[in-house]
Copies of this chain bind each other. A is one copy, B any other.
Amino acid sequence: MTRIAILGATGYTALELIKILLRHPGAEIVAVTSRQEGQPHIAMIHPSLTARLDLRLEDLSPAEVAARAECVFSCLPHGASAAVIPALLDAGRRVVDFSADYRLNDPAVYEQWYGLKHVDAARLGKVVYGLPELFREKIPPAQLVANPGCYPTTAILALTPLLKAGMIDPKSIIIDSKSGVTGAGRTLKLTAHYPECNESISAYNVGRHRHQPEIEQVLGMAAGTTVEVVFAPHLTPMDRGILTSAYAQPTREVTEEKVLQTIRDFYEDEPFVRVVDHLPGTKDSTGTNFCDITARVVRGRVVCFSCLDNLIKGAAGAAVQNFNLMFGYGETTAL
């Protein structure tokens, strides 16, 4: 049994994490924290947890968290996460960080895209990026794992096999992603106000979304060269799910069969990647830790489609997958 603390437990990813951990035979949630909400019972914030988790939100110091828990999931926003994680690591605790604070290797890139100086910059470049499909062997020994972003997971899983195979031009990639509204978080904002976003789809932060450098960094590792992508996220009127449609120029003539086979071979033994022939809908993976991928060749160009549940494989499910690897549970436990 592993004692677990969840930092920043008022948001949607934390709620999803709690639901998964409640059915995990090796997980015991011992603390849920929040800096802003007083000490209400967690069910006051998340009514769906009524009668399921009997804890109050607490405003705990890193030392208090470390005293109670062996494993800490940080669902704090970027900046806030890096402000407390070093103390937890110093105290010997293991951490899965949902924020972007430890995903980028270069402090300058972090500063450019997130608009603040990294308070733990020395650690950047040494933290494992918690995508088991690419970096599984590095996760079990890790003390800190940077949980990937939701959009990056879709794009990276779809394109890595083709880049590794040298099948697509690393300079030609266009990523058109469609996300449900939970991706915008639980903080009130006009763009997530029901009458504004319901019955409407729109692009946002085109070319300026913070997941762009994350995608480029990890795809660059696959390509073995610099990758620059056009990334256009879109807000879609649904609760959860991301569909990424990725377009690339092949480096040589390819067939649809060859492209699909390359992706299929790459993920042959993966428990949570399903390479399918049909065009998947986000609903196929809603509520699961699966990522569904397919590909087409149109007018000589490669088009990949990749779907997942942004709160699960795009956040809390991936985190538990990492937790399982870190603490020696079966990788698919509770997922």
Contacts and interface: CB of A to CB of B under 8 A. Distances in A.
Contacts of A33: none
Contact of A229 (B50, B202, B284, B299): B299
A48 interface: yes
Interface residues of A, number: 70
A182 B228 CA distance: 37
Interface of A is mostly: mixed
Contacts of A292: 50
Q: In the complex, which of the residues A200, A238, A239 has the most CB atoms of chain B within 10 Å of its own CB atom?
A: A200
Contacts of A192: 193-195
A1 interface: no
Contacts of A286: 48, 199-200
A122 interface: no
B195 A239 contact: yes
A204 B279 contact: yes
A252 interface: no
A51 B274 CA distance: 7
A254 interface: no
B195 A182 contact: yes
A56 interface: no
B201 A241 contact: yes
A252 to B, nearest CB: 17
A202 B243 contact: yes
Contacts of A235: 281
A203 to B, nearest CB: 5
Interface in A89-144: none
A229 B303 CA distance: 12
Given A197-B194, A198-B198, A284-B50, A243 B234 contact: yes
A176 B237 contact: no
A236 B234 CA distance: 11
Nearest to A276: B50
Contact of A189 (B188, B198, B239, B290): B188
Interface string A287-330: 11010100011110101010100000000000000000000000
Counting chain B CB atoms within 10 Å of each CB, the highest count among A23, A282, A299 belongs to: A299
B279 A201 contact: no
Closest 8 CB pairs of A and B: A207-B298, A200-B283, A202-B281, A200-B281, A188-B188, A181-B194, A176-B176, A47-B284
20 contacts: A47-B276, A47-B284, A50-B292, A51-B274, A51-B290, A174-B174, A182-B195, A193-B194, A201-B238, A201-B281, A203-B279, A203-B305, A206-B279, A207-B296, A207-B297, A230-B301, A230-B303, A231-B298, A232-B298, A234-B245
